[in-house]
Every structure is written in structure tokens, then in C-alpha cells.
Amino acid sequence: MVALLGAMTLVLVAVAPWVLPVAAGGKNLKSYQKVEVDIIDDNFILQWNRSDESLRSVTFSFDYQKSGTDNWIKLPGCQNITSTKCNFSSVKLNVYEEIKLRIRAEKENTSSWYEVDPFTPYNKAQIGPPEVHLEAEDKAIMINISPPGTKNSVMWALDGSGFRYSLVIWKNSSSGEEEIENIYSIHKIYKLLPETTYCLKVKAALPMAWKVGIYGPVYCIKTTVENKLPPPENIQVSVQNESYVLKWDYAYANVTFQVQWLHAFLKRNPVNHSYKWKQMPNCENVKTTQCVFPQNIFPKGIYFLRVQASDGNNTSFWSEEIKFDTEIQAFLLPPVLKVRSTSDSLHIYIGAPEQSGSKPVNQDYPLTYEIIFWENTSNAERKIFKEKTDFIVPNLKPLTVYCVKARAHTMDEKWNKSSAFGDVVFVKTKPVFL
């Protein structure tokens, strides 16, 4: 373990040499040494070098001193050590308080004490590799990461939910890697291939303490065979009247759907939250690819939603979980279009969405509109982005029915959200008058 971490070790350098007594035979035991303190999670290890490998019968002992006291105490685990390494993890320390260490060597006589630079264990501690548990679906992998340290870690006792993780995932025996950063301890990766082995490694970080750990071992898992109904896709929430409307896409008929929701803050909590999902009222056994639920079910906040399909025998995996922020949802309503035509152009006006109740209005946030239009008789869509709410689309054919729909996007980094598409508007261009 320590060897594995060698490259990351922080070194406490003794600025002065510490000196062994002169041994029998006049051999000079003087040496220049340094003591390394390696703290990884709750493992406290000391390592040092002996100057002369022939001095086998020398033993080393450490004392420690807690901050605010004057008495030196024998450091358990580090007494009469014949090797050059000891483990003092069993000592109960306040990891936020500075401690002092001193070392001496003993052969026949005893050397004087040499003091190691004082240090505060928490500041010195490195984050070890986290333990990872994987579960596979046909196109997704669930990753459950245990926070670093022992179960009742003293070192990270106050950091339990402060851990964030990064991972690198790749297809086994392929060189393309993808890095996923800043995730919580339970994370799902979607859009993978079925029956494919993926490998990943994870590292932990404590952003609040400016600590970044090191990658743990590589874990591999094979995604399962695709033999279930596919999960619903393209889940979108919008607001209508006093209700939320949740819509999704599904390829097959004759299935029923159910929807579940989860408080987003539960994802920060490093415990298995899979049983905390709750059934969405009014969205159980629905036969349509949408369901409507009252706005007042959800107090202000952030939630996750997921949808599952079932045909009686066969149940799909859960869809991707979509984030649902009541505040953003409230102001990012689908735009309302008014379209006028000439013989070769459309004049599009984007209106503020119909507000329900006292919701904030779109104008408080800079929006970009995505407008998609196509000829009614064709599937060839054209897409444009506009910040203006009043513009002309030129160069169209006369006497043609055009279909137009639009949605709003926020430009702000904080509110990276899109509304659902509003209703499709059909407009026929005018004939050409010569």
C-alpha cells in the first residue's frame, strides 16, 4: 500500500542530522537521516533510513508530544523497531492538533533524541483510494463509492459528505478514455454498449480542504445482454396551468409507465439512496407517454425524476434520471409562437409563455431560442438559434405549409436549462403575385 503510494508521499525533511553513538570498535554511526510521515486516511506510517545497512542490531524508538503539553509519551507501534518503518495508527490523536515526534536509535548505548518537524495530522493526511462497487445494466453502470478511510474514520469524521469523486472509464482493451469529474458517491453512467466490458478507476477529493486523492485500483464490469424492454427516453418537464407535464418518448405501444422522484440532496449523502425514490402520484400505470401532476406536490427545490416501462412480463431498466428544479422549471416555460407568412418568408414572433400564477418571468434571465421548422410534407428539419424574439426566416417556397416549433435555453452558466418545445405552429406561405 505504502509502496504503491510512494510517488505521492510528502516528505518531512530533518534539517539537522541525528547522530548515533559511537559503537564498539570505534565505528562511526553518525548519519544524515530524515523521517517521513505518511498519513493516508487513518493509516499513520513513519519511515526513515539507517545510514549503514550493516548496523543490524540497532533499534529505533519514537516519542510523541501532544500540542500544549510538555511530556513525551512513547509512541505505540514505534518502539524498539529493528526495521525502518512503523505504524502508529492505533494512537488516539486529535487530528486537527499539532503533534511533535522524536526518534532515537539504540544499540548498546542510546543516541540523543532527534526531533521531527511538528505537524498536524489532518493537514498532512492524504486521501486514499476509495472502494468501489459496480453493478451493470445493459447500457448503464451504477457506481457506488465508499468514502475513503475506515468505517468510523477519525481523519474524515467531519468530511463524510464533503467527498467528491472523479473517475476515468474506458472500454476494456481500447484506448479511448473518458473522464467524469465532481460526482457523488452514487453515480450512474448511461449510453454504454450492451455486452461490453468497461473498466474504471476512481479518485476522491475534498474540495473544501483542497485535497485530491489518488486513483484506486481498476475495476471492470461487463454490461448485460439487451433482453429487456428499452427504458423511456427524452424525458422533459414543462408547466401547464397549475401542473407539471412530464413527457417522454417510447418506441413501443401496449406498455405502461411509472414515474418516481427523489430529493436531489439525497444524492450528496454517501449512503445507498436507491430505496428513497418515491412513486409520483398520478403517474403510476400510465398508458400514455406523459403524465400530469400538480405543481403544489413539490415545494421549491431540486428533484430527480425517472421513468420505467413495463408490459406485464417485462420491465425496462429505469430511464436516465433527469434533474428537475422547480424554480427553473417555473420560469423556463415553452415559448409561444405567432407566425405570419409572405410568399417566401416567415415572420416569427416569440411570445412570453403563458404564466401560471405568480411565477417569475422569463425576462429576468437571458434566453436563447431554438427554432426548428420543416415543410409539412418533409422530415428535413432546419434549426436556427435567435436571441431576438422577432425575426424573419427568408428564402422559403410559396404555397407551402411550414411547421414551426421553438424552445428556450438559458445562456447563463448557472442556469444551463432548456424549456420543453412549445406547440407546433403550421403556416402556409402566400402565393407569388407577379
Ligand X SMILES: *[C@@H]1O[C@H](CO)[C@@H](O)[C@H](O)[C@H]1NC(C)=O
Among 162-170, 258-266, 301-309, 312-320, the segment contacting ligand X (CB under 6 A)? 312-320
| 3-state helix/strand/coil string of 349-400 | EEECCCCCCCCCCHHHCCEEEEEEEEECCCCCCEEEEECCCEEEECCCCCCC
Give the residue with the Cβ less far from ligand X, 229 or 262: 229
Binding to ligand X (CB under 6 A) within 395-434 occurs at 401, 413, 416, 426
Answer yes or no whether residue 89 interacts with ligand X by CB under 6 A: yes
Sign of CA dihedral 359, 361, 367, 368: positive
- Candidate list 182, 358, 377, 395; residue touching ligand X; CB under 6 A: 377
Burial category of 350 from C-beta neighbours within 10 Å (exposed 0-12, middle 13-18, buried 19 and up)? buried
Chosen residue from 7, 16, 253, 434 binding ligand X by CB under 6 A: 253
Q: How far is the CB of 120 from ligand X (least distance, A)?
A: 20
| Nearest-approach distance from CB 208 to ligand X, in angstroms | 22
Q: Is 315 in the site for ligand X (CB under 6 A)?
A: no
CA distance 151 to 170: 30
H and E: helices and strands count for the chain: 2, 29
Q: Kindly state the smallest distance separating residue 87's Cβ from ligand X, in Å.
A: 4
Which one of 212, 292, 372, 424 is in contact with ligand X (CB under 6 A)? 292
One-letter amino acid for residue 430 of the chain: K
Identity of the residue, 160 or 230, whose beta carbon is nearer to ligand X in the bound complex: 230
Side-chain-side CA neighbours of 171 within 13 Å: the count stands at 10
**Helix then strand then coil, % of the chain, to nearest 5:** 10, 40, 50
Determine if 57 is a binding residue for ligand X (CB under 6 A).
no
Work out which of 210, 275, 385, 433 binds ligand X, going by CB under 6 A. Answer: 275
240 part of the interface to ligand X, by CB under 6 A: yes
Q: Which of 54, 71, 90, 395 binds ligand X (CB under 6 A)?
A: 90
For 79, counting Cβ atoms within 10 Å of its Cβ (0-12 exposed, 13-18 middle, 19+ buried), the class is middle
Q: Which CB, 67 or 80, lies closer to ligand X?
A: 80
Burial (CB count within 10 angstroms: exposed 0-12, middle 13-18, buried 19+), residue 319: buried
Q: Does 358 bind ligand X (CB under 6 A)?
A: no
Q: Does 224 bind ligand X (CB under 6 A)?
A: no
Question: For residue 391, how far is the Cα from the chain centroid?
Answer: 41
Determine, following the binding rule CB under 6 A, whether residue 311 of this chain makes contact with ligand X: yes
Of 197 and 345, the one with the shorter C-beta distance to ligand X is: 197
Instruction: Say whether residue 43 binds ligand X (CB under 6 A).
Output: yes
d(CA 62, CA 46): 10
From CA 237, how far away is CA 295, in angstroms rounded? 11
Length of the chain, please?
Answer: 434
Residue 326 is a binding residue for ligand X (CB under 6 A): no
Number of residues that bind ligand X (CB under 6 A): 49
Sign of CA dihedral 285, 286, 289, 293: negative
Segment contacting ligand X by CB under 6 A, of 123-131, 153-161, 271-279, 318-326: 271-279
Binding site for ligand X (CB under 6 A): 1-2, 21-24, 34, 36, 43, 45, 47-49, 79-80, 87, 89-90, 108-109, 133, 144, 172-173, 197, 220, 227-229, 240-241, 243, 245, 253-254, 272, 274-275, 292, 311-314, 376-377, 401, 413, 416, 426
